[in-house]
Structure 1
Amino acid sequence: MKFHADKPDTLSISAIGDGWVAINGERHENSLVVTSAGHVLPWACARFEDLAAPHFESLTGLMPEPPELVLFGSGERLRFARPALMRGLIEQRIGVETMDTAAACRTFNILAAEGRRVVAVLIVGG
């Protein structure tokens, strides 16, 4: 499935397939973090079952200001992480939305194009 950004100068998730995500045309086959500030980083959580609080705690210092929202792409299907894992984000008043990875990619593109401070954490292929 291909996606297109409204603003060509914005980092965008350009496509997603079985076991991969493309960011500005570059294919990634491992879980990753994408920020509206332009960062694409590996995320040390390959499988939903491996989620731990530090995976989410590491997301707050990735941008000059904390994100308004973290989009958690849980893999090929919608799965909710235990709330205790995201407590640090919630206590900092950072919103967390959970959706399957394809939906998180589409939502990231929309919010980033609007200029929102958003981070997408994507489990790829899980």
Structure 2
Amino acid sequence: MKFILDDSGKGHTIQRYDQGEVTVSNVVYRENCIVLPDRIISPWHPGDFLDLKTEDFSFLAELAAEIIILGTGARQRFPHPGLTEPLMQRRIGLEVMDTAAACRTYNILMSEGRRVAVALFMI
């Protein structure tokens, strides 16, 4: 069980992540989700990392974030480069890491006032 201090007051923060769940702004999510400072999208499909499609990255590109963090579950896995083309076309940065690291990184960038989104696959 991991806890993350919420002291930003600037938007949705990830307070806790654990096997099969993540707590965002005092609400527990047990499905893949997307967290932005001003909203939470849950559930987020695809159901599994291997189900990622170009359309999923097109959806992420529509969120108007300057950077997308992709939390790939218990371990870091990289999507096929062709899938991320919608982000590259809009010059949106993509960082890929395991979900625990993605949660921590999102909180840091969000607290700095960055327009960031994190798409999380459950651990």
TM score, norm. by length of structure 2? 0.93
Shift of 1:11: 1.1
Q: Is the contact made by 1:19 and 1:124 (CA closer than 8 Å) also made in structure 2?
A: yes
Match of 2:68 among 58, 70, 74: 70
Cα distance change of structure 1 residues 9 and 70 upon mapping to structure 2, 3 Å threshold: closer
RMSD across aligned positions (CA): 1.1
Q: Is the contact made by 2:65 and 2:115 (CA closer than 8 Å) also made in structure 1?
A: yes
TM score, norm. by length of structure 1? 0.91
* Aligned ranges 1:54-69 → 2 under 5 Å: 54-62=55-63, 66-69=64-67
Match of 1:117 among 110, 115, 119: 115
Runs of 4+ in 1 over 4 A off after TM superposition: none
Instruction: Please state if 1:24 is matched with 2:11.
Output: no
Show structure 1 runs of 5+ residues with no match: none
Show structure 2 runs of 5+ residues with no match: none
Shift of 1:46: 1.6
Aligned length: 121
Shift of 1:49: 1.0
Give the SS at the match of 2:50: helix
Instruction: Please state if 1:51 is matched with 2:52.
Output: yes
Instruction: Please state if 1:40 is matched with 2:40.
Output: yes
Give the SS at the match of 2:61: coil
Q: Distance in 2 between matches of 1:60 and 1:92?
A: 7
Q: Distance in 2 between matches of 1:40 and 1:122?
A: 11
Equivalent position amino acid for 1:21 in 2? V
Shift of 1:9: 4.2
Give the SS at the match of 2:69: strand
